[in-house]
């Protein structure tokens, strides 16, 4: 058997694939963060909590309303997106003109409240969410056993990520959005309702997080901590990719997933820290991030 640094190449393929799967979640979440930061200039620390709310909504829908995975994939992001819109209207809209720090503090506080309340009602050990029957099982690829659900995660997140990138960078709507962040008063002069557009953008970013939460529900435990466990890594991804850069968030999300996966083979003890080491290095060499436009 051929080996690389003592690890069979076949095993390595498996690990790279698993890295890609984790990277899908990083990409989905960091994409929402990047959209919100790029358009609203808000560092949305509540993103992890809203991701968790997406999973919890799916859980509640299944167990109390009998609504399964597929409808949840649409309903949960809409429900959580509406919560996001309320948050934006009630709190965030007053903060755009202030320092980033205020938005960060507010969203951080919201995250603590959302998580605390969920922990009170749901406990922290997590709740089981059944895998949808149509995606159960898996295929033996020769070098690894790939569960169907994980394959589905990669496919969906690729589609969603590049769809979002396309809308924002390549369509008229995206052009309005980008223009509104550059110069809101000018865009308003053209008769476009900028505040509503910003509200909807926040709602969309939050809905993306909730969508990620529903995707995660069947494989990770639905637990109040699931967001805070992920959010730190996701922030590192956004910083490495370049704050506000959508393409950067996507590429870095997948890339770091792979690097983390490989670390789990060669030096598993460091797998929780490797992303932060990379972040430190990137910040030293390119302070604006890999895809960031320097300020």
Partner 1 sequence: MKRLLGLAALAALLACGTAQAQQKQMDVKIGVLTDMASLYADDTGQGSVAAAKLAAEDFMKSHPNVKVEVVSADHQNKPDVGTGIAKQWIDVDHVDMITGVPTSSVALAVMQVVKEKNKALIDSGAGSSDITGSKCNANTVHWTYDTWMLANGTGKAIVKTGGDTWFFITADYAFGHALERDTAAVVEKNGGKVLGKVRVPINTSDFSSFLLQAQQSKAKIIGLANAGGDTINAIKQGAEFGIVAGGQKFAGLLIFAPDIQALGLKAAQGLMFTETFYWDMNDGTRAWTKRWDKERNAPGKVPSMNHAGVYAGTMAYLEAAVAVGSAKDGKAVVDKMKTMTFKDPLFGTTTVRVDGRGIHNAYLFEAKKPEESKYPGDLYKLRATIPADEAFRPLKDGGCPLVKG
Q: What are phi and psi of 40, to 5 degrees?
A: -110, -10
Shortest Cβ distance from residue 111 to partner 1 (Å)? 13
Q: Which residues contact 261 (CB under 8 A, 6 or more apart)?
A: 15, 16, 18, 19, 20, 22
Q: Is 151 in the site for partner 1 (CB under 8 A)?
A: no
Judged by CB under 8 A, the stretch of 19-27, 38-46, 169-177, 200-208 that binds partner 1 is: 19-27
Question: Which listed residue (77, 103, 147, 242) binds partner 1 by CB under 8 A?
Answer: 147
In this structure, are strands 7-8 and 138-140 parallel, antiparallel, or unpaired? unpaired
**Cβ proximity of 29 and 212 under 8 Å:** yes
7, containing H or E segment? strand 7-8
Q: Is 47 in the site for partner 1 (CB under 8 A)?
A: no
The span from the CA of 46 to the CA of 108, in Å, is 6
SS3 6: coil
Write out the two tokens for 47: 């993103």
Write out the two tokens for 234: 């996701």
Write out the two tokens for 271: 């797998």
**Cβ proximity of 42 and 92 under 8 Å:** yes
Closer CB to partner 1, residue 31 or residue 230? 230
Q: Is 124 in the site for partner 1 (CB under 8 A)?
A: yes
Judged by CB under 8 A, the stretch of 32-40, 59-67, 75-83, 217-225 that binds partner 1 is: 217-225
**Cβ proximity of 21 and 149 under 8 Å:** no
Number of H-type helices and E-type strands within the chain = 11, 4
Question: Which listed residue (2, 66, 191, 269) binds partner 1 by CB under 8 A?
Answer: 269
Question: Which listed residue (132, 138, 174, 195) binds partner 1 by CB under 8 A?
Answer: 138
Closer CB to partner 1, residue 201 or residue 252? 252
Question: Which listed residue (78, 85, 127, 200) binds partner 1 by CB under 8 A?
Answer: 127
**Cβ proximity of 84 and 213 under 8 Å:** no
Judged by CB under 8 A, the stretch of 6-14, 46-54, 64-72, 243-251 that binds partner 1 is: 6-14
Per-residue string for binding with partner 1, 70-109, x by CB under 8 A? Answer: ----------------------------------------
Residues of this chain that bind partner 1 (CB under 8 A): 8, 11, 14-15, 18-19, 21-22, 115, 119-120, 123-128, 131, 138, 144-145, 147, 149-150, 219-221, 223, 225-226, 229-230, 261, 264-265, 268-269, 271-273
């Amino acid at each position: 058997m051929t080996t690389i640094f003592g690890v069979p190449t076949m095993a390595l393929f498996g690990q790279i694939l698993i890295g890609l799967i984790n990277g899908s979640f990083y990409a989905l979440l960091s994409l929402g963060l990047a959209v919100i930061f790029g358009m609203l200039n808000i560092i949305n620390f509540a993103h992890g909590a809203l991701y968790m709310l997406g999973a919890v909504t799916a859980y509640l829908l299944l167990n109390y309303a009998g609504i399964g995975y597929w409808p949840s994939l649409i309903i949960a992001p809409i429900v959580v997106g509406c919560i996001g819109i309320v948050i934006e209207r009630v709190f965030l809209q007053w903060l755009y003109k202030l320092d980033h720090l205020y938005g960060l503090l507010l969203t951080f506080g919201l995250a603590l409240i959302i998580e605390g309340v969920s922990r009170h009602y749901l406990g922290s050990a997590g709740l089981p969410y059944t895998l949808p029957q149509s995606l159960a099982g898996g295929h033996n690829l020769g070098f690894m056993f790939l569960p169907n659900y994980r394959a589905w995660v990669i496919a969906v997140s690729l589609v969603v990520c590049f769809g979002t990138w396309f809308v924002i960078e390549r369509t008229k709507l995206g052009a309005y959005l980008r223009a509104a962040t550059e110069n809101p008063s000018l865009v308003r002069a053209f008769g476009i309702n900028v505040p509503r557009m910003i509200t909807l953008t926040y709602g969309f970013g939050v809905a993306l997080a909730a969508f990620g939460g529903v995707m995660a529900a069947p494989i990770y435990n639905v637990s109040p901590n699931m967001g805070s466990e992920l959010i730190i890594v996701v922030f590192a991804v956004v910083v490495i990719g370049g704050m506000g850069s959508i393409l950067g968030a996507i590429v870095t999300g997948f890339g770091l997933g792979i690097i983390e996966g490989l670390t789990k083979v060669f030096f598993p003890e460091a797998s929780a820290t490797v992303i932060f080491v990379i972040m430190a290095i990137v910040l030293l060499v390119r302070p604006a991030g890999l895809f960031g436009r320097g300020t």
